[in-house]
Structure 1
Amino acid sequence: MSDLICHPAHPPVLVRSMEARVIGLDQSWLRVRWRILGAGKLVVPAFAGKGRADGLWNTTCFELFLQPPGGQPYVEINLSPSERWNAYDFTARREGMSERPMPREPECTMRKGSDIAIFDAAIPAAGLPDLPLAMGFTAVIEEEGGVRSFWALSHSGEAPDFHDPACFTLALAAPTAS
């Protein structure tokens, strides 16, 4: 489990902490989970059905950044509790954006109680770059009143920038045979 840090320029209302982790990886799926404590005022986008959509980060959205070693290209995957999603390839930091092909749609589920929310996603492994990868978990969290906070493994600037390679602090390796 990795703790995400809220960008200090955009504090949350009630959210106290957020964690993210890989919960499974096999030849079919990469399974990831985000856990939010203090979810009492969390805005959860309405169910919209599966499908690609842009601008998911304008409200509560969970993101994953993946970068092969030794290069500038990387992948951004956006996942919404609405079940909308998108995946993009970048040739360098915020450059050369194009929609990344996916063999099938990711699966997303959101569970929210009075104080805790859990967002699980399964991303088709065939749609990922070859392993190993540098990885960054991020999230945009909207709370009632239009307050948005920006969460990442690390922040290095005065404004939130999930595309900063300094945010890609975890390693994702190929599964080992047991």
Structure 2
Amino acid sequence: MNNQSFSLQPFPSTNQLLDLKIVGKIVRNDNQLAIEYTLLGDIEEVALHPPSQTPSRKHELWQDTCFEFFLGIKNSPKYWEFNLSPAGHWNVYRFDGYRQGMQEEAALITLPFILQQQADSLELTLDFDLDKIIPVEQALEVAITTVIKDRDGEVTYWALTHQGAEADFHRRDSFIMKL
């Protein structure tokens, strides 16, 4: 079992940052992957769509507050982008290389996750089986990220690390966790 904690950092910018902290953990046990995000602080200042009664696969979730992670196959340019909206919507995209060959991952037809909101925290937990997309023996490189949109429409980008001059979650040199 591989169990790692994380703390995300905002991309350095001139935007006024909300008083937030994003922490969590990711666990791989055989081919079961669990990830938990906890957003702490001024939650009332974050733009959150109300939970949907019918969560579904949707595109462009990253244009609003969205928890994301990327799984890359070690020694391969291939990777997946997972998008999890606090409203309950989700999507998974497969890439052949850096921003190349983007396709919806058809092998995953559902991605249910649990969302719990308190006055000063929001917790999102996802637990799913990687078997449909990645063999159990395959080593993974992981990037964990989040897009936060505030009530004024300002967007901040959070990640384990920011390697470029602009916020870019797809850069493989930011896939720094090993599972």
Which range, TM-score by smaller chain?
Answer: 0.7 to 0.9
Q: Deviations over 1:47-95 (max 9, x none)?
A: 2323211000011111110111111111111111222111111111001
Residue number in structure 1 paired with 2:44: 40
Q: Which amino acid aligns with 1:79?
A: L
Corresponding residue SS for 2:45:
coil
Deviates more, 1:123-132 or 1:106-115: 123-132
Give the conservation status (yes or no) of the 8 Å contact 1:107–1:121. yes
2:157 aligned with 1:150: yes
The CA RMSD measured in Å over matched residues stands at 1.9
Residue number in structure 1 paired with 2:26: 22
How far, CA to CA, are the matches of 1:108 and 1:10 in structure 2? 33
Q: How does 1:1-178 map to 2 (within 5 A)?
A: 1-9=5-13, 11=15, 13-23=17-27, 25=29, 27=31, 29-38=32-41, 39-48=43-52, 49-130=54-135, 131-172=138-179
Deviates more, 1:86-95 or 1:100-109: 100-109
What is the TM-score with the length of structure 1 in the denominator? 0.86
Distance 1:155 1:68, change over 3 A: same
What is the TM-score with the length of structure 2 in the denominator? 0.86
The CA deviation at 1:23 is 4.5
Give the conservation status (yes or no) of the 8 Å contact 1:12–1:143. no
Structure 1: gaps spanning 5 or more residues: 173-178
Aligned residues: 171
Corresponding residue SS for 1:46:
coil
